[in-house]
A and B are shown apart, each in its own frame.
Chain A
Amino acid sequence: MKKEEIYQILKDPEFQELIKKVTAVSLSFAVVMMVVYYSFILMLAYAKSFLSTPICEGCATNYGIVIGIGIIIFSWLITGAYIWWANTNYDPVVRKLREKFRR
């Protein structure tokens, strides 16, 4: 690919808009995941007694188990959410730009 073509794409407002959007969305997703995970770690350090509390009177299952399993399921769902976003917002723009520059 020639330099001029590359710079033509780089200057395209739609391409610049795409970069901004993708960066913002992927960073937000990453931050959400980190907040969830490190909140859990901090709970382990500072809220051990809460995590050890049974979810009902006489139960053996406690909040720690529910939250722990919950984080595993959340991790999977959030990757699904990103796919959904990328399929509906990212890919169509990529297709459009590739067509525009016939690549």
Chain B
Amino acid sequence: MKSLKLSLAGALLPVPALAGKGEAIVGMNPVAVGFFIVFIALTLGITYWAAKRSSTAAEFYAAGRSISGFQNGLAIAGDYMSAASFLGIAGMVATKGYDGLIYSIGFLVGWPIIMFLLAEPLRNLGKYTFADVVAYRLQLRPIKILAALGSIAVVILYLIAQMVGSGKLIQLVFGIPYEIAVVIIGALMITYVLFGGMLATTWVQIIKAVLLLSGATIMVLWTLAKFGFNPENLFQAVKQTAGEKWLQPGGLVKNPIDAISLGLALMFGTAGLPHILMRFFTVPDSKEARKSVFYATGFIGYFYILTFVIGFGAVVLVGLDKILSIGKGGNMAAPLLAQALGGDAFLGFIAAVAFATILAVVAGLTLAGASALSHDLYVGVIRKGESSEEQEIKITRIAVLVLGIIAIVLGIAFKDQNIAFVVGLAFAIAASTNFPALLMSISWKKFTTAGAVASMITGLVLSVILIILSKTVWVDILGNSAPIFPYKNPAIVSMTAAFIVGIIVSLMTQEPEAEEKFEEMKVRKYLGIGAE
């Protein structure tokens, strides 16, 4: 509770407690403001253009299924390369060395799994949300309720991480109060999603992905130029300044069970993220869905290699003491490196890029959360699948507003967690609640509604309880002396349990209708016949 109280107290002051401390704060950086205004003008223009093409539900949720594989690959990369990746992983590499790379690898390896197990069936079976796919052959209402809860839990945790990243960044660069910055982000993201729907959100992601990839590439080339374009020289410099153990696996993997648990959460969590799964409904067919994963994996993998170099570059060119003096988690390593390389002008550019990153990701998250509330809960559960499109979109827009306000409030409430780690928790819930039910529903004939319900409840409840009992919450936030659950990540227990409970309950129950529909589903799943 301590850190929460502190940040709430900070929120009441007109100027954030951190401002004025630390020399990296440069006030209103004209370059950053300039780039940011250009970005906002461009994206608002796109939103205006997209608003006219977002009147039907298929247009609003799925951009009229008109996005190409390459565009969607970029947009997926845009959705996935969050502030946690850019600021968090670079910060982790800077402050913990090689262990940061372990995190990035975990974030990447889920993509091939999505390609092999989910991309094609998801595209062929889905409509607007992954809950549509889970519920395809099962009973609509119970599945929709739980899948929507799973989506919203993941979306909100992820939103917290993004908002924290943006607040820190604005403190560093723009010098405007934290709360105002969070409100600006909230307002912009509401605008994109409310008026432009999936089409505007997709283009915001694409622009942001291009900006982020080029910004990070410039940073890496600039860094490597100082080391004769030879990574070995950079590693030598890291060895001399921070010590050889920075280049070696360290404390992240203390015991194999903890490591495998983290690995499961990262690998299968990716395959259970509602805002990512939603992107597969924006392409015209399963071939394009497949292509988008290929492009996305390439962009994301390349980006993680860049963040590895950026983190180490920051250790050498900025220095560990300075990175840690700005924020405990090291989240400011990348912006500080930009400043060391190219002064305030380049810092401004990178800050504007990071800001755009956060804005784009929160827009994607909000759209996914709002579609879970409206398409899954309102239409699927309350209206039992019967609702006019106009009504559905109206409810979605209300949900966007509500989620936007929640995001702003939570963004102010949570401040001092390493954002890569908060995202890690979101992944644990996604891996335990969403992924097992999704996989079993599309690939196991005997899976029943009761089995799916039991599996999702088990995954959600266990992952939340175990996170509370783990060191992160039980010790670091609630102030107890020892954690009750020994591992940092619950996935090894909660995901395994979700699978086992789903299998046992399905075997104990009979649902001939679901089995029949499973057979019929194959035609659409493999051939795409009847796909929307």
Residue of A nearest to B303 (CB): A72
| Interface contact A79-B253, CB-CB below 8 Å | no
Is B368 part of the contact surface with A, judged by Cβ < 8 Å? no
Query: Please, what's the 1-or-0 string for B252-290, where 1 marks a CB less than 8 Å from any CB in chain A?
Result: 010110011001000100000000000000000001001
Picked from B108, B249, B301, the residue with its CB within 8 Å of the CB of A64 is: B249
Distance in angstroms from A85 CB to nearest chain B CB is: 10
Chain B residues within an 8 Å CB radius of A48: 248-249, 253
Q: A26-B117, A86-B290 are in contact. Are A78 and B112 (CB under 8 A)?
A: yes
Is B389 part of the contact surface with A, judged by Cβ < 8 Å? no
Chain B residues within an 8 Å CB radius of A61: 231-232, 235, 247
- Total A-B contacts with CB atoms under 8 angstroms apart: 148
Q: A42-B256, A46-B256, A64-B249 are in contact. Are A76 and B301 (CB under 8 A)?
A: yes
Distance in angstroms from A46 CB to nearest chain B CB is: 7
| Interface contact B301-A60, CB-CB below 8 Å | no
| Interface contact B104-A72, CB-CB below 8 Å | yes
Distance in angstroms from B24 CB to nearest chain A CB is: 28
| Interface contact B522-A29, CB-CB below 8 Å | no
Q: Which of B33-41, B141-149, B291-299, B427-435 contacts A (4 or more CB under 8 A)?
A: B291-299
Chain A residues within an 8 Å CB radius of B520: 3, 6, 10
| Interface contact A44-B297, CB-CB below 8 Å | no
Q: A9-B523, A94-B528 are in contact. Are A75 and B111 (CB under 8 A)?
A: yes
| Interface contact B305-A1, CB-CB below 8 Å | no
Chain A residues within an 8 Å CB radius of B287: 86-87, 91
Chain B residues within an 8 Å CB radius of A26: 116-117
Interface range on chain B (Cβ under 8 Å from partner): 35 or more
Give complex CA distance A48, B522 in Å: 46
Chain A residues within an 8 Å CB radius of B105: 37, 40, 68, 71-72
Picked from B231, B255, B291, B522, the residue with its CB within 8 Å of the CB of A83 is: B291
| Interface contact B101-A68, CB-CB below 8 Å | yes
| Interface contact B248-A52, CB-CB below 8 Å | yes
Chain B residues within an 8 Å CB radius of A30: 112-113, 116-117
Give complex CA distance A52, B238 in Å: 14
Chain B residues within an 8 Å CB radius of A101: 529
| Interface contact A75-B112, CB-CB below 8 Å | yes
Chain A residues within an 8 Å CB radius of B527: 9, 15, 94, 97-98, 103
Give complex CA distance A26, B287 in Å: 15
Q: A52-B248, A52-B249 are in contact. Are A41 and B290 (CB under 8 A)?
A: no
Is B378 part of the contact surface with A, judged by Cβ < 8 Å? no
Give complex CA distance A91, B285 in Å: 12
Chain B residues within an 8 Å CB radius of A98: 527-529
Q: A45-B256, A97-B527 are in contact. Are A62 and B247 (CB under 8 A)?
A: yes
Chain A 53-103 interface residues, beta-carbon cutoff 8 Å to B: 59-62, 64-65, 68-69, 71-73, 75-76, 78-80, 82-83, 86-87, 91, 94, 97-98, 101, 103
Distance in angstroms from B68 CB to nearest chain A CB is: 15
Is B98 part of the contact surface with A, judged by Cβ < 8 Å? yes
Q: A9-B523, A64-B247, A103-B529 are in contact. Are A44 and B116 (CB under 8 A)?
A: no
Query: Please, what's the 1-or-0 string for A21-53, where 1 marks a CB less than 8 Å from any CB in chain B?
Result: 010001101100110011011101110100110
Chain B residues within an 8 Å CB radius of A18: 526
| Interface contact A64-B293, CB-CB below 8 Å | no
Picked from B98, B108, B259, B301, the residue with its CB within 8 Å of the CB of A41 is: B259
Give complex CA distance A69, B259 in Å: 18
Give complex CA distance A97, B308 in Å: 47
Chain B residues within an 8 Å CB radius of A75: 108-109, 111-112, 297, 301
| Interface contact B249-A51, CB-CB below 8 Å | yes
| Interface contact B109-A82, CB-CB below 8 Å | no
| Interface contact A1-B294, CB-CB below 8 Å | no
| Interface contact B294-A80, CB-CB below 8 Å | yes
Chain B residues within an 8 Å CB radius of A76: 294, 297-298, 301
| Interface contact B235-A33, CB-CB below 8 Å | no
Q: A30-B113, A65-B101 are in contact. Are A15 and B526 (CB under 8 A)?
A: yes
| Interface contact A38-B263, CB-CB below 8 Å | yes
Residue of B nearest to A53 (CB): B248
Not counting A30-B112, A33-B112, a sample of 15 additional A-B residue pairs whose C-beta atoms are within 8 angstroms of each other reads A9-B523, A10-B522, A26-B116, A29-B112, A30-B116, A37-B263, A44-B249, A46-B256, A60-B232, A68-B98, A68-B102, A71-B105, A79-B111, A83-B290, A98-B529
Interface residues of A (CB under 8 A from B): 1, 3, 6, 9-10, 15, 18-19, 22, 26-27, 29-30, 33-34, 37-38, 40-42, 44-46, 48, 51-52, 59-62, 64-65, 68-69, 71-73, 75-76, 78-80, 82-83, 86-87, 91, 94, 97-98, 101, 103
